[in-house]
Each structure stands twice: as C-alpha cells, then as structure tokens.
Chains A and B, each alone.
Chain A
Amino acid sequence: EVQLVESGGGLVQPGGSLRLSCAASGFTVSSNYMNWVRQAPGKGLEWVSVLYSGGITYYADSVKGRFTMSRDNSKNMLYLQMNSLRVEDTAVYYCARDRAAGTRWFDPWGQGTLVTVSS
C-alpha cells in the first residue's frame, strides 16, 4: 500500500528551527517528485516546496531561504528543515507525492503534522 506518514511537528518559538520527516512506503521517494503543502488553522492550502527525483528543488517565496527539502534514499524518507520560523508558519504540514512525476497534482498525501510557532 502506498502511504506517507509525517512526524516532527510541535511547538517552537519564533526564530527557532524544526525538522519534519515523511516516511514513505509502497514506493521509492527518490524516484518520485515529492512536495510539502501546509494549511494554517482554519485556512486554505498553501504549496510550500517540491523536490524532484533529480534533486532540483523549488520553494514558495514565503519560505525561500528559510526552508530546505531533502531526502534520505537509504531510509526512503523525505525531510523539511525549517529555520527562522515565524508565527505565520503555524500550520499542519502535509507531504504529498506528484501523482505522476511532473504532473504537479498530489496523490497520495500524508495525514499531516502540526507545527505551532509561538512564544
């Protein structure tokens, strides 16, 4: 079964850092295009970033220079390193796979992990 499971969310102070993880099963992360999408409490969906199978990354302007996507091929894991966190980064963060590489629509999604940035 194809599945994504996020972890690593929690409470962090403004200016702090956090690393989110996404464990994949049923497929190989390194052969796919992987994304992070976030959703602030009670709000809509915001695309955050993508990591191509070839290693290229793209980021939303709101996180560029602060967030970094990476993967560990040996563990079949995806990561999102978040630095210089702001209150407005508070959201549920979902990892999601491109339905097919380069199509830029997402299936499947993980269940999400909540990041709260607050003092």
Chain B
Amino acid sequence: DIQMTQSPSSVSASVGDRVTITCRASQGVSRWLAWYQQKPGKAPKLLIYAASSLQSGVPSRFSGSGSGTDFTLTISSLQPEDFATYYCQQANSFPLTFGPGTKVDIK
C-alpha cells in the first residue's frame, strides 16, 4: 500500500497569509494526486486533481504542484472560509489512500 504523509499536521494562520501544505507518498504516484478540503460536520470537497488541476468552482487562490512523491497545496491569501482540514489522496493504485490531514486554524 502507498502511505501518504502530510506536514504540518496543523498550522495557525491569519487572514491574508500564504499557507503551504506538503504531502509525500511512500512511492511514486506520478501526478495521480488530489487535494480535498473538509469543514467540521461536512463532506470533503475536491479542490485539486491531477496534482495541479483546479476543480471547477474552486477559487484561484488554491493551487497544487508536484509529481512523483512530493506535492504541495498552496493557499495564496487565506480567507475566513478557508479554515478547515485539508487531505491529500493518491489515486495511482488500489487501495486508494489519504494523508492524515492538515488542520488550518485561526491564529
């Protein structure tokens, strides 16, 4: 199974800050990587797929990069509605696996 790790596990930030979250796969997944946002009590929401493609309707302040084993999600200017937990997911092979999540909260 491909293990996914994320860093940091949590980050405190202010509105307007640039936030970067890193995701690492235990083996190469090419660009088969997605990012999700989850708010408390809600279902996850797809933000980024294929490592860097922005899902329709997602604000352009979200961006993704990387390939192989190392990936990054960047929020260029944090907005109040962005405080949430973010998960990466590898889609290269079964079983599909998620990272443990990064919680972004208010500083």
Q: Does B68 contact A (CB under 8 A)?
A: no
Q: Does A44 contact B (CB under 8 A)?
A: yes
The number of residues on chain A lying at the interface, defined by a beta carbon within 8 Å of a beta carbon of chain B, is 21
Provided the pairs A45-B87, A103-B49, A105-B89 are in contact, do residues A60 and B95 lie with their beta carbons within 8 angstroms? yes
User: Residues 11-47 of chain B: 1 if any A CB is under 8 Å from the residue's CB, otherwise 0?
Assistant: 0000000000000000000001010101000111110
Interface size classification for chain B: 20 to 34
Q: Does B66 contact A (CB under 8 A)?
A: no
- Distance, CA A60 to CA B95, complexed state (A): 6
Question: Contact partner of A105 among B34, B43, B95, B100, CB < 8 A?
Answer: B34
Chain B binding site: helix, strand, loop or mixed by DSSP?
Answer: loop
* Chain A residues within 8 Å of B89, by CB: 45, 47, 105
Known: A61-B95, A105-B89. 12 other contacts (CB 8 A): A37-B44, A45-B36, A45-B87, A46-B98, A105-B34, A105-B49, A106-B34, A107-B45, A107-B55, A109-B44, A110-B43, A111-B42
The reply to whether A44 and B32 form a contact with Cβ atoms under 8 Å apart is: no
User: Residues 88-107 of chain B: 1 if any A CB is under 8 Å from the residue's CB, otherwise 0?
Assistant: 01010011111111000000
Which A residue sits closest to B55, measured CB to CB? A107
Question: Contact partner of B49 among A46, A58, A99, A110, CB < 8 A?
Answer: A99
